[in-house]
Amino acid sequence: MKFSPLMLAWLLPGLAQAAASQDMAALEKLADRFMQQEMAPRQATYKLGKLDRRLVLSACASPRVDWSNTAQTTGNTALVIVCPDSGWSIRLPVSINEKQLGVVLTRSVSAGEVLQQGDVKLVEVANPAMARNVLSNLDLAVGQSMRSGAPAGSWLRSFMVHAPYLVRAGQPVKVEAGGEGFRVLSEGIANGNAAIGDAVSVRLNSGRVIRGVVLPDGTVSLSY
């Protein structure tokens, strides 16, 4: 079949456009790879939407994917796929379900025990209503001291732990008083328990009671 010049002039632009149309499935695969990378360090699952196959875009050699809103990367949100060369951009909906994890004791512990790595583990919180005050990171638990005892399998809540006491009631402590241009050292007896950074009162050998902050070496520091 022969085409007249007029028919060719009408057909060729359409054929060229069809040949150069962007493959929507390829964009969805690119978005899926982006989501796999983004979700790898997170305890979350996702479900990508679909691009409208009726949409015709010019083919892009190097499309880029990013969050449509970097401040919203959970729940119902969207990705944006951009073609720098052609100047088009499209949104692709994505739904993200963030798993909520909580710290659980793996054995029974007593008051005053300092938690070790094997004493705790992360477990998915099936009922978010139960997650109030539950620690969500093992680093927040390991090295902390228990305020009271708890059985194995208990959720570890923030009020159940504290930093280990560096100073205890009745313990002799050094007291450092300092200011601009001077530093004085003395000794006394702690009147309470305190961790690094906590305030504690101390009875000095002179009988005077002062209050200072516990330093990492156990010294109680006063500032003037």
From the CB of residue 131, how many other CB atoms can be counted at a distance below 10 Å? 16
Alpha carbon of residue 168 to chain centroid: 34
At residue 150, φ and ψ (nearest 5 deg) are: -155, 145
Euclidean distance between CA atoms 79 and 185, whole angstroms: 61
Q: What is the rounded average pLDDT for all residues in the chain?
A: 88
- For residue 113, list its beta bridge partners: none
- pLDDT for 219: 94
- For residue 96, list its beta bridge partners: 46, 75
Q: What average pLDDT score do residues 59-81 get?
A: 94
Q: Which residues contact 26 (CB under 8 A, 6 or more apart)?
A: none
User: At residue 134, does pLDDT exceed 80?
Assistant: yes
User: How does residue 15 score in pLDDT terms, banded at 50, 70 and 90?
Assistant: very low
User: How does residue 56 score in pLDDT terms, banded at 50, 70 and 90?
Assistant: very high
User: At residue 11, does pLDDT exceed 50?
Assistant: no
Alpha carbon of residue 61 to chain centroid: 35
At residue 91, φ and ψ (nearest 5 deg) are: -100, 145
Q: DSSP 3-state assignment of 110?
A: coil
From 155, 151, 129, select the one nearest 140 (Cα to Cα).
155
Question: Which residue in the block uniquely carries the two structure tokens 């798993």?
Answer: 99
Euclidean distance between CA atoms 208 and 214, whole angstroms: 18
CB 69, CB 113: distance < 8 Å: no
Per residue in 139-197, pLDDT (tens digit) is 999 999 999 999 999 999 999 999 999 999 999 999 998 777 778 889 999 999 999 99
Q: What average pLDDT score do residues 4-9 get?
A: 43
Euclidean distance between CA atoms 152 and 199, whole angstroms: 32
Flag the least confident range among 39-43, 159-163, 211-215.
Answer: 39-43
- pLDDT for 221: 93
Q: What average pLDDT score do residues 91-103 get?
A: 91
Provide, rounded to the nearest whole percent, the portion of the chain with pLDDT above 90. 69
pTM for the structure as a whole: 0.51
SS3 content of the chain, % helix, strand, coil (to 5): 20, 40, 45
CB 162, CB 207: distance < 8 Å: no
From 163, 95, 104, 152, select the one nearest 130 (Cα to Cα).
104
Residue with the larger pLDDT of the pair 9 and 201: 201
